[in-house]
Amino acid sequence: MNQRQQELLDRLNRTGKILIEEEAEHFSVAPMTIRRDLRFLEKNGLAVQTKNGAIPKPKIYAAPLNMAEDSAIKRKIATKLLEMIEPLSTVMLSTGTTTLTLARLLAQQNLPLTIITNSIPIASALFQTRIKVILIGGELRTTSLDLVGPAAEKYLSEYHIDLLVTGCDGADAEEGFYTSDLNLANLEKMSAKVSDKVIVITESRKFGKKALVKFAEIGDVDAIITDNRLKTIDRELLNRHGIELYIT
């Protein structure tokens, strides 16, 4: 990286965006040269080329993050859960996209709460709100920005939680709830153990799918919030287990 590219990067980070024409003039070089610089910076993961210029590479969320974010369904489910949160209580939000949507709603509400989580996106979403945020330490997963592992479990074992809110990768109305990561399953079990109440929030399409590891029996869960595409048979089975079922 040459001097000009360094300074270009500094200017980029300082202002949040640069324009090719402007920079060409500033450095007294041809626009083509700036283009080549931006190509270089992009190739090295330092910038993203935009229309007539570039912006800094997004820092916290890597682009290839396969995080299905805020869909209309998730927002409805999360909004329903919002009603069930008591001010001043301690709530654990386990990693997941629906819980992330919930966190974003909470950030807007700005209730006095303590949130415990093992998800970096959730902690970030709650940054600089009135909410006290405790992030559980542990090993960073390579698949998503969250923390798992024995250290995380041990850490969690010393807490008491009023309400655990979690999603799932798969659900079966008779068998229980599944996730695709063993470490995460262990953490979920520990979370449930130290929690007074457990609510699962999940899109109905997860029902009928089993993932790698079961982390909770149906009976371990106090309530489920899901969308109105849930099959009648599943609704009946869940009701038979005496679970509070909320359909949005």
Binding residues for a second copy, per CB under 8 A? 6-7, 9-10, 13-14, 16-17, 44-45, 48-51, 55-56, 58-72, 75, 107-108, 120-121, 123-128, 132-140, 142, 145, 147, 151-152, 155
Binding residues for DNA, rule CB under 7 A, total 17
In angstroms, the CA 78 to CA 66 distance is: 20
Q: 65 or 84, CB closer to a second copy? A: 65
User: Half-sphere exposure of 163 toward its Cβ, with a 13 Å CA cutoff?
Assistant: 23
Q: Does 4 bind DNA (CB under 7 A)?
A: yes
Binding part of the chain for DNA, among 30-38, 114-122, 156-164, 203-211 by CB under 7 A, reads 30-38
For the packed helices 150-157 and 182-193, what is the interaxial angle rounded to 10 degrees? 0
Q: 71 or 239, CB closer to a second copy? A: 71
62 binds, among a second copy, DNA, none (CB under 5 to 8 A by kind): a second copy
Contact (Cβ atoms closer than 8 angstroms) between residue 77 and residue 98: yes
Count CB atoms within 10 A of the CB of residue 168: 27
Contact (Cβ atoms closer than 8 angstroms) between residue 148 and residue 141: yes
Cα dihedral 57→63→67→70 (10° resolution):
60
Shortest distance in whole angstroms from residue 66 CB to DNA:
24
Q: 29 or 48, CB closer to a second copy? A: 48
79 binds, among a second copy, DNA, none (CB under 5 to 8 A by kind): none
β-pairing verdict for 53-56 and 47-49:
antiparallel
Shortest distance in whole angstroms from residue 94 CB to a second copy:
15
- Contact positions with DNA (CB under 7 A) in 45-104: 49-52
Q: 151 or 182, CB closer to a second copy? A: 151
In angstroms, the CA 93 to CA 75 distance is: 15
Residues in the chain: 248
Member of 13, 33, 79, 114 binding DNA (CB under 7 A)? 33
Q: 9 or 218, CB closer to DNA? A: 9
User: Binding string to DNA for residues 35 to 54, with x set by CB under 7 A, is what?
Assistant: xx--x---------xxxx--
CA Rg, the chain, in Å? Answer: 22
In angstroms, the CA 219 to CA 76 distance is: 25
For the packed helices 20-27 and 3-15, what is the interaxial angle rounded to 10 degrees? 130
Q: List contacts with DNA (CB under 7 A).
A: 2, 4, 20-21, 28-33, 35-36, 39, 49-52
